[in-house]
Structure 1
């Protein structure tokens, strides 16, 4: 059973992102996204789906809270998300069955081409080995020594996720003394700690094991996938791409000068929401937008951009500033480059995440304010008129 649960955990970072990425980019006919872009789009698409479901059930939980804690929403969230993902996997297998059947042959062909490139260019092999060696060192430290990098944020994340499982609620318990209901609005609008709790419950691993042992390794690999994607736009020669990755890895290893720098997040606490945002989501999203603006408007890019934006904003409330600043800056740069205002539809799609976060933040702050006051200032709530208690008692 443990092996089955562990496989289910890994599926959320392997097959599921691939399947969702293929579905999200299914309408792309010209200028299709690369395999790496499709994978990362699928990964953040899964975060976006979880975020929407989590927001709906969290709202339901707080709306139905009056005198005693309202529990059970986390279990419903786990079931609902699993069902949605299962349905999407089935849809992908039906729609993409031709590509799935051809995938093994395509992988063999791709590996053969890369081996031929290495045989033809010995330096490429040397650069790849150098980068692989540095990456292995980073992965080892991420796996073996991540637990030594504790901070206030660590306790916040770990305890919040553990409380989610223990109390069967969503962003509901005070992570210091365990009181319920208690929630700071900025924590209520982020689904990342709840997603960690979902992974822990799915796999039966301890929350600390998920945070400090498993996720750092997986997310480090995803981060370097994103950086390789960026290198494909910077360098046409594959040699230069691996030189870039090697120098970048060395810079991260020896740039660990501040707890709040990206270098520390890459080598230490990459599993935290703000770290995933700064080390993976923002760099990838910025380059993806540059590519999208450069190739002109196509309908097939709108949904991927919107879902990346929403998935990135699920990580932390700080995303409302970081994502907005990034996407608006890129839009302005491209308008200056083309000397005209263009790409409005891409800009709107890229702001879906921040807009959702702002609206949800405002609604939750109003609802929490009503919960803490005697009179309902914003919403007409009451146990006697609540549909849930009328139906279920």
Structure 2
């Protein structure tokens, strides 16, 4: 049973991202790495949209007494939708599985040949693998002891989501409900971790401090190799880049505000996933998109990445627009004209969604705590969707 649950957990880091990524890029095929990462963040974006709707309903029907059932409702909406997407992917790709496997095998063979036909490249490859394995070992064996002050929010909130069957609704200190902070309810990452814990049967702490560090380290270095492919033409130069980057990370833990801490200290936190995985990948994907012929087929992938990145932390409302606008300005300067407005707008969809959702939560919270329904005077206790929730007595 444990093995089955573990395999179900891994689906969210293997098959599901590839399926979602292939569906999103169906009209504009990209590399396997891009498909996987687009699918990974696209899946987070899908979860975020469902989460925001149900979290809003949870607050809407709260008129004093706490209600529960929102997390269960979210899972009932999310799992069938993912199942439909998987079936759609299998149907659409039924004739191209063999071709896809052949393409992946060919690319792997080319990379392997480049590595093992040159003596120095072999040395660089083995050195990088040794450093990577060391980091993975430390992540798996020792990050269980790494506790930052943010874990009193991230880990506890995820655990409370399961325990109380509610979405970011519980006071993390004393467990009282309802107790909602706008900045915490505005993103869905805590609830996504809770979903992973529920699916696997692993404790939230185990998911955060043992499993996710290993998986996210692999994804992060996959992103860094993706960046190296764009910067360097030769394989040995790419490996040297990864080696230098690895050592910079290993010896860069000078504070809890360093990038090293986000990668090697607390990578399971939403702001860490945003800064060491989402932002680097999104930046490079935008640069490649702007550098190629402009195509409407890239708009949906950009929106998917933007939504997924915005679901990680409320700080996405700041960091993502800064990155997107800077990238756009640089590409306009490079092309000496206003260029790629559609890509810029698509890249800002996620932060805009986050900002609107945050504002609506604030308005609803103001009504709840201010004693008067200033923004939503038509809100009633027994809406027809109240049947999905139950009072916490």
Q: What's the counterpart of residue 20 of structure 1?
A: 20
Whether the aligned pair in 1 keeps the contact of 2:61 and 2:382 (CA below 8 Å) is no
Q: Say if 2:350 is the partner of 1:353.
A: yes
Bigger drift between 76-85 and 205-214 goes to 76-85
Bigger drift between 194-203 and 66-75 goes to 66-75
Q: Say if 2:340 is the partner of 1:343.
A: yes
Q: What's the counterpart of residue 189 of structure 2?
A: 192
Once the two structures are TM-superposed, the CA of residue 149 in structure 1 deviates from its matched residue by: 1.6
Once the two structures are TM-superposed, the CA of residue 104 in structure 1 deviates from its matched residue by: 3.8
> What TM-score do the two structures reach when normalised by structure 1?
0.96
Once the two structures are TM-superposed, the CA of residue 258 in structure 1 deviates from its matched residue by: 1.3
Q: How does 1:21-60 map to 2 (within 5 A)?
A: 21-28=21-28, 32-60=29-57
Once the two structures are TM-superposed, the CA of residue 279 in structure 1 deviates from its matched residue by: 0.2
Q: What's the counterpart of residue 8 of structure 1?
A: 8
Q: What's the counterpart of residue 206 of structure 1?
A: 203
Q: How does 1:369-380 map to 2 (within 5 A)?
A: 369-380=366-377
Q: Distance in 1 between matches of 2:269 and 2:249?
A: 17
SS in 2 for 1:98: coil
Once the two structures are TM-superposed, the CA of residue 27 in structure 1 deviates from its matched residue by: 0.2
Q: Distance in 1 between matches of 2:66 and 2:387?
A: 17
Once the two structures are TM-superposed, the CA of residue 296 in structure 1 deviates from its matched residue by: 2.7
SS in 2 for 1:190: coil
CA RMSD of aligned residues (A): 1.6
Alignment counterpart, residue 306 of structure 1, candidates 303, 307, 312:
303
Q: How does 1:249-260 map to 2 (within 5 A)?
A: 249-260=246-257
Whether the aligned pair in 2 keeps the contact of 1:72 and 1:168 (CA below 8 Å) is yes
Q: What's the counterpart of residue 319 of structure 2?
A: 322
Q: What's the counterpart of residue 243 of structure 2?
A: 246
Q: Say if 2:67 is the partner of 1:67.
A: no
Whether the aligned pair in 2 keeps the contact of 1:384 and 1:390 (CA below 8 Å) is no
Can you list the C-alpha shifts for 1:5-24, whole angstroms capped at 9, x where unaligned?
Answer: 11010010011111111111
Q: Distance in 2 between matches of 1:54 and 1:173?
A: 16
> What TM-score do the two structures reach when normalised by structure 2?
0.96
Whether the aligned pair in 2 keeps the contact of 1:226 and 1:284 (CA below 8 Å) is yes
Q: What's the counterpart of residue 85 of structure 2?
A: 88
Once the two structures are TM-superposed, the CA of residue 111 in structure 1 deviates from its matched residue by: 3.7
Can you list the C-alpha shifts for 1:328-359, whole angstroms capped at 9, x where unaligned?
Answer: 00001111111111110000000001100110
Once the two structures are TM-superposed, the CA of residue 114 in structure 1 deviates from its matched residue by: 3.3
Q: Distance in 2 between matches of 1:278 and 1:235?
A: 23
Once the two structures are TM-superposed, the CA of residue 37 in structure 1 deviates from its matched residue by: 1.0
Cα distance change on mapping 1:340 and 1:41 into 2, 3 Å? same
Cα distance change on mapping 1:389 and 1:303 into 2, 3 Å? closer
Once the two structures are TM-superposed, the CA of residue 107 in structure 1 deviates from its matched residue by: 3.9
Whether the aligned pair in 1 keeps the contact of 2:299 and 2:343 (CA below 8 Å) is yes
Can you list the C-alpha shifts for 1:101-120, whole angstroms capped at 9, x where unaligned?
Answer: 33443444334333432342
Q: What's the counterpart of residue 222 of structure 1?
A: 219
Can you list the C-alpha shifts for 1:284-312, whole angstroms capped at 9, x where unaligned?
Answer: 10011011111131011000001101100
Q: Distance in 1 between matches of 2:381 and 2:323?
A: 47
Q: What's the counterpart of residue 330 of structure 2?
A: 333
Q: Distance in 1 between matches of 2:381 and 2:348?
A: 39
Whether the aligned pair in 2 keeps the contact of 1:71 and 1:169 (CA below 8 Å) is yes
Q: Distance in 1 between matches of 2:300 and 2:95?
A: 23
Q: Distance in 2 between matches of 1:222 and 1:108?
A: 20
SS in 1 for 2:356: helix
Bigger drift between 253-262 and 94-103 goes to 94-103
